[in-house]
Structure 1
Amino acid sequence: MILYGLKNCDTCRKALKQLPQAHLVEVRGEGVPSAVLIKALAEFGDRLVNTRSTTWRGLSEAERSAAPLELLQQHPTLMKRPLIAVEDRLYLGWDKSTQEALQS
């Protein structure tokens, strides 16, 4: 199980606490592999880009209009977190449905 997120993100810390078997990949330093990003974009679409983040608010209108894949590759902290990969399944965020699916 791989958790893509930030070590200082409260939501990622909550998820890691409840998923001790998960390995954290720090997106700020390591990034998210392109294949994972492409699959996540196909599955979650625009929900993958966190438009409520500080990073998003710091972007110009021209930067915001870029393709989501390009945005996430240039600014990995724009990704909604956590993105959790379990074998061939992806989960986005740490809501009740994700918690139930991963802790059953």
Structure 2
Amino acid sequence: MIHVYGIPNCDTVKKARKWLDGQGLEYSFHDYKKEGVDAPNLERWADRAGWDILLNRTGTTFRKLDEADKADIGREKALALMTEHPSMIKRPVAETDDGDRVLVGFAPSEWENAFR
């Protein structure tokens, strides 16, 4: 089973879900804007993909942060910011049941290799 995390109205999440549907792959969807994301998930994703890949620095939420919050970001600070502001997580995040495969963002060729 594939688990997809994101925000339903995000265009990239919509593309990813449409791709999964088109491939006939079953998946669950977790709206982390409404349901939040717990620390163990974020830590696992950061371990697998890298916290710097996971942190969406181009989004509105990050850009609106105080300069002090943006300064000197390391793993712990990034994870704390993403826990507090789930919109700062790059989306979608997709992982397998075992947590072995974690993909951040949507690239059809990567997803094809990971989920086929």
- Give the TM-score normalised by structure 1: 0.89
The percentage of aligned residue pairs carrying the same residue is 33
2:91 is the counterpart of 1:76: no
Deviates more, 1:34-43 or 1:62-71: 62-71
Instruction: Give ranges in structure 2 of 5+ residues lacking alignment.
Output: none
Matched, 1:54 2:55: no
Amino acid at match of 2:8: K
Q: Flag the structure with larger Rg.
A: 2
Q: Alignment RMSD, CA only?
A: 1.5
Return 5+ residue gaps in structure 1 as ranges: none
Match runs of 1:1-104 below 5 Å: 1-20=2-21, 21-43=26-48, 44-65=50-71, 67-87=77-97, 88=99, 89-104=101-116
Aligned residues: 104
Give the TM-score of the pair, scaled to structure 2: 0.81
Offset at residue 90 of structure 1 (A): 1.0
Q: Supply the distance in 2 between the matched residues of 1:5 and 1:78 (Cα, whole angstroms).
A: 11
Amino acid at match of 1:54: T
